[in-house]
Each structure stands twice: as C-alpha cells, then as structure tokens.
Structure 1
Amino acid sequence: MGLFSALFGWPLAPIKGTIWVAEQVQEEAERQYYDPGIIRRKLEEVADAREAGTVSDEEAAEMEKELVARLIEANRRPRQEDMG
C-alpha cells in the first residue's frame, strides 16, 4: 500500500507543500497580531500620537478600541508554550 499511495500521492506533493507554507505564514501572522507586547506598544504609539496631535481623539479612541479587543482576544487564546 505504501508504494501505491506514494505513486498516486506524489503529484499532490507541491500542493501539500504550498498548503503547509501557507499554514506556517498564517500561524506567524496570528502570533504577531495577537502578541500582547506588540499590542501594548501600539497602544503607547496611539497615546503618543494623540498627545502630539497627529491623530484626533476620535481616531485614537477607535484605534485603542480595536487594540484592546485584540488584547482581550490574545488573553483568551491558548499560548504556544501551553500547546507544545
């Protein structure tokens, strides 16, 4: 059965490799998107921009709302070190 599955599975190898790469990219993107340290730095940047007057209070409030939502979701998600 191994030879049979190898012969018929071989044409799918490039597709499987592409899917694996896409999954790795997605995992890394999500890790960075939900990284609490990155989110906190972005919150600080928003506060600095508000203080400098480069964004309005309304814009800053909207950005902070989105970042806090990400931070809450990050705390709900299982951490990589908990999974492996």
Structure 2
Amino acid sequence: MGLLTHLLTLPIAPLRGTVRVLDQVLLTAEHEFYDPEPVYEQLAELERQLLERRIGPEEFDAREDELLDRLEWIQARRRPPRGG
C-alpha cells in the first residue's frame, strides 16, 4: 500500500517541496522582522549623528521616539503570552 500511495502522490511531490521551502523563507523573514538588533544599531547611529552635529536635537528626538516605539513593539510581540 505504501508504494501505491507513493506512486499516486508522486505528481504533487514538487509542490510539497515548494511549500516546505516557502515555510522556511517565512520563518526566516519573521525572525529578521522581529529581531531588535537592527533597531539598536539604528539608535547608536542616530546618537553618533547627534554627537557629530549632523542632525539637531529636534530631529534626534523625533527619530529616537520612532525607533523606541518600534523596539517596544518588537519586544511586546516576542514575549510569551501571559496567563497561558
């Protein structure tokens, strides 16, 4: 019976492989999307720009708020659900 099932489902084998690859791509993309490290790097770069006087305090504050909001959003989604 296993051989017969294998032969009958053989035409959809490439589809199963494609689905498996797409699942891996999705998992990798989600991991990168929720990775806080790039946000920390952007915050450090922003501070360097302020110290080098390439941006003013107002622009620094606005961009820092955006990055901190993004970091908070990432951290909230990475936490395990409470009361589970």
- Mark yes or no: TM-score above 0.5: yes
**1:13 counterpart residue number:** 13
Q: After superposition, where does 1:1-84 map in structure 2 within 5 Å?
A: 1-49=1-49, 51=50, 52-53=54-55, 56=59, 57-74=61-78, 76-77=79-80
2:9 alignment partner, SS class: helix
Aligned residue pairs: how many?
A: 75
State the AA in 2 paired with 1:68.
E
1:58 alignment partner, SS class: helix
Distance 1:67 1:47, change over 3 A: farther
Unaligned ranges ≥5, structure 1: 78-84
Unaligned ranges ≥5, structure 2: none
Deviations 1:51-81 (A, max 9, x none): 231882334322321122113322x15xxxx
Contact residue 46 and residue 64 of structure 2 kept, 8 A: yes
State the AA in 2 paired with 1:21.
V
Across the aligned residues of Structure 1 and Structure 2, the Cα RMSD in angstroms comes to 2.6
The CA deviation at 1:18 is: 0.8
1:53 alignment partner, SS class: coil
Identity percentage of aligned residues: 31
The TM-score with structure 2 as length reference comes to: 0.64
Q: Which one is further off, 21-30 or 37-46?
A: 37-46
The CA deviation at 1:16 is: 0.8
Structure with greater Cα Rg: 2
